[in-house]
Amino acid sequence: LISRIKEAQKEDSEIWTIVENLNKQVKFHLDEDNVLWQGTRLVVPNDATLREALLTEAHSLPFSVHSGSTKMYHDLKQYFWWSGMKRDVMPSGLLWIV
């Protein structure tokens, strides 16, 4: 899934807008493989399929089973970032298909 996220970054217009403005962005940087990060968090492209796969995977991990959307959001935001992430993870966001 991580490699799919990194590959999908290359095709995402929102990602390229951030990359084109890196000199104005303090929070974002490209690594040596031209992968975009927000601090230490991998930037997830605006791809509903990838985001749903990430949320489904996070939901199915043993430590997160029925832990609630707030905990899941805090767990995910340690490693990933996308615009509107909190909205997508919280109950009023994406529909869960597990």
Question: How many residues are given for the chain?
Answer: 98
Global pTM value: 0.79
What is the DSSP track for the chain?
-HHHHHHHHTT-HHHHHHHHTGGG-SSEEE-TT--EEETTEEEPPS-HHHHHHHHHHHHHSGGGTT--HHHHHHHHTTTEE-TTHHHHHSTTSSPP--
The CATH number of 2-89, from 2.60.40, 3.30.1360, 1.10.340, 1.20.140, is 1.10.340
What is the per-residue pLDDT across 64-75, written as a single tens digit (0 to 9) for each? Answer: 444 566 777 888
Domain boundaries, the chain: 2-89
What is the per-residue pLDDT across 35-90, written as a single tens digit (0 to 9) for each? Answer: 999 999 999 999 999 998 988 887 776 554 445 667 778 888 899 999 988 888 77
